[in-house]
Amino acid sequence: MIHSTGTTPNNYLFAGEQFDPDLNLYYNRARYLNVTTGRFWIMDSYEGNDEDPRSIHKYLYVDADPVNNTDPCGRCLPSIGDWGDIVQEFIFEDFQEKTGGVGLNVTINTVLRSTVPSGGLEPDLIDPNTLSEFGIGQVYEIKSVYSELQAKAKVLLYVSVLNFYGRNTGLKWIPGVTYTAPPIVPISPSAVAFIQQPWAGVITYCVVNQTELLAFAIAADSAALYLDLSSAALTAAYAY
């Protein structure tokens, strides 16, 4: 933060993450971030990908590109094209089954059945069915969590083009609101993607190493077991 006015407390600052004024660090859930150095406070347990040298760096924040990327969980893996394709295909199959909609390489020209300026744009998911009785069509864009704002901008662009050139189609297009994507998408034996929908029409994914996830789950189970045992011990002590 460079400057602030007013007295209302607000600790959610850089990238919308919580600032700890006592530590002078940002809390990104799995790890604390030092924005002065652009590095996390502790090491990343992810081993990294040999084909992506930056991923091997144990303290690096968002591939050294904080202008375009964010890391809301402190351990998100930088997205690669293959992972994005897997997520898109998995969500599209679910989307098609639930809505009967179309997507993945379907252009706006195809949707409008005519050739229009910017008609070559390809929304990831297109749902002309769910709200058709209300004269409404919906569009969605799937992006890495690092590109959330880009996805939001794309959705607004798609909607603008569809509504401007599709006024005679009988549908008013909006950012999608009715489809709920699967919360987790399997990526590989070593990684899964967590899915979120932060804005209307925007579906984001964050890829996490399953080894880390398992370690976290074991730690959580252990903590819960410890609390259960402690509670039982206290109960027994008071009963005695």
In a domain, 147, yes or no: yes
Q: What is the pLDDT of residue 120?
A: 94
- Residue at 75: amino acid letter: R
Q: Domain span at residue 65?
A: 1-75
Q: How many domains does the chain have?
A: 2
Lookup result for tokens 């002065």: 36
240 in any annotated domain? no
Q: Does one domain contain both 105 and 202? A: yes
User: CA distances (Å), 240 to each of 226, 230, 231, 237, in order?
Assistant: 21, 15, 14, 5
Q: Which residues contact 163 (CB under 8 A, 6 or more apart)?
A: 172, 173
- What confidence score (pLDDT) does residue 239 get? 46
Same domain, 44 and 83: no
Q: Within a domain: residue 232?
A: no
- Same domain, yes or no: 66 and 133: no
> 83 and 201 share a domain?
yes
In a domain, 191, yes or no: yes
The predicted pLDDT at position 171 comes to 93
Instruction: Report how far residue 5's alpha carbon sits from residue 82's, in angstroms, rounded to the nearest whole number.
Output: 45
pLDDT of the chain along its 240 residues, tens only? 778 888 888 888 888 888 998 899 998 878 899 998 999 998 887 777 676 787 788 898 887 888 877 777 776 766 666 788 899 999 999 999 999 998 888 999 999 999 999 999 999 999 999 999 999 999 999 998 878 888 999 999 999 999 999 988 889 999 999 999 999 999 887 788 889 999 999 999 988 876 656 655 555 555 554 455 445 444 444 443
DSSP 126: E
What pLDDT is stored for residue 107 in this prediction? 94
If asked whether residues 71 and 90 sit together in one domain, one would say no
